[in-house]
C-alpha cells in the first residue's frame, strides 16, 4: 500500500456515503476458493476489478483459509470499450457514474472493500494494466496467482497475458474470465499455443499454469 500510494488510502474515506453495491460479472465463482486453497497465495494480482466483486470473493477465501495473502487490484476504473457502446446500459455506461464526464466508480469499489472489511487485504492500483506491469517488474514484485479480467479485446488481452506472465512467479497460476468472448478466447489460445501451455478450466474460468 505505501509503496504504491505513500499512505493508507482508506483512512478518512466516508464509505457510508456509498451503500454496498457489488454488482459485477463472474465474481462469485467457486473457482476463486478452489484456486486459492490449492495455491495458498501470498500475493494475488487482479487485472480488472470494477466494483470489487471478484476481489472481495478472493479476500473472503483468503480469510476463510486462514491465509495472510494480499490482493493488488489493477484497474483504471474508467471502463473498457463495451462500457461505452450503449449509454442506456445500467450495468456498464450508467454504472460508471460519470460526473462532469469522468467516472466515479472507483469510489464505489473503495466503499465495497470497506463494507466487506477487507481494507487490510485489498490494495487498489488505479492505472492501466500495461503501466502497472512495468511498475511491478521495476519493483521486483511477483505474484502467485493472477486473475485477468480487464479488456476483452484480443490484442489487449494478449498483451495482458504477455505482461502478467512476466509478473507471475514460476509455478504460479494465471487465470481469467469471459471464455465466451471471442477476443478473450482468441488471445488465450494464441498465448497458450506460443508458450506451449495447456489451457484448463476451473468452473467458469480459463486457467494457464506455468
Residues in the site for ligand SAM, rule: CB under 6 A?
24-25, 27, 48-50, 53-54, 74-80, 128-129, 149-151, 156
CB of 196 to ligand SAM, least distance (A): 26
Pairing of strands 43-47, 70-75: parallel
* Residue with nearest beta carbon to ligand SAM: 24
Q: In what order do the strands lie in the sheet with 168-176?
A: 122-126, 70-75, 43-47, 143-148, 168-176, 205-209, 199-202
Q: Which is nearer to ligand SAM, 79 or 196 (CB)?
A: 79
CB of 2 to ligand SAM, least distance (A): 22
Cα separation values, 122 from 22, 107, 208, Å: 15, 14, 24
Q: Which is nearer to ligand SAM, 71 or 171 (CB)?
A: 71
CB of 89 to ligand SAM, least distance (A): 13
Q: Which residues contact 163 (CB under 8 A, 6 or more apart)?
A: 129, 130, 133, 134
Q: Which is nearer to ligand SAM, 196 or 207 (CB)?
A: 207
User: DSSP label at 177?
Assistant: S
CB of 48 to ligand SAM, least distance (A): 3
Amino acid at each position: 500500500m505505501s509503496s504504491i500510494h505513500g499512505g493508507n488510502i482508506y483512512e478518512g474515506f466516508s464509505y457510508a456515503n456509498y451503500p454496498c453495491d457489488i454488482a459485477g460479472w463472474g465474481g462469485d465463482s467457486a473457482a476463486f476458493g478452489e484456486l486459492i486453497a490449492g495455491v495458498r497465495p501470498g500475493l494475488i494480482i487482479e487485472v480488472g476489478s470494477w466494483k470489487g466483486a471478484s476481489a472481495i470473493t478472493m479476500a473472503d477465501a483468503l480469510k476463510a483459509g486462514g491465509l495472510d495473502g494480499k490482493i493488488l487490484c489493477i484497474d483504471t476504473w474508467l471502463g473498457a470499450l463495451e462500457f461505452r457502446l450503449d449509454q442506456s446500459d445500467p450495468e456498464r455506461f450508467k454504472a460508471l457514474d460519470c460526473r462532469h464526464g469522468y467516472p466515479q466508480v472507483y469510489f464505489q469499489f473503495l466503499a465495497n472493500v470497506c463494507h466487506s472489511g477487507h481494507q487490510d487485504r485489498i490494495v487498489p492500483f488505479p492505472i492501466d494494466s500495461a503501466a502497472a506491469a512495468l511498475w511491478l517488474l521495476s519493483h521486483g514484485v511477483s505474484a502467485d496467482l493472477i486473475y485477468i479480467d480487464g479488456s476483452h479485446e484480443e490484442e489487449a488481452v494478449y498483451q495482458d497475458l504477455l505482461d502478467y506472465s512476466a509478473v507471475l512467479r514460476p509455478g504460479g497460476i494465471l487465470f481469467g474470465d469471459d471464455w465466451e468472448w471471442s477476443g478473450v478466447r482468441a488471445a488465450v489460445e494464441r498465448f497458450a499455443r506460443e508458450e506451449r501451455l495447456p489451457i484448463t478450466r476451473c468452473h467458469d474460468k480459463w486457467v494457464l499454469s506455468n
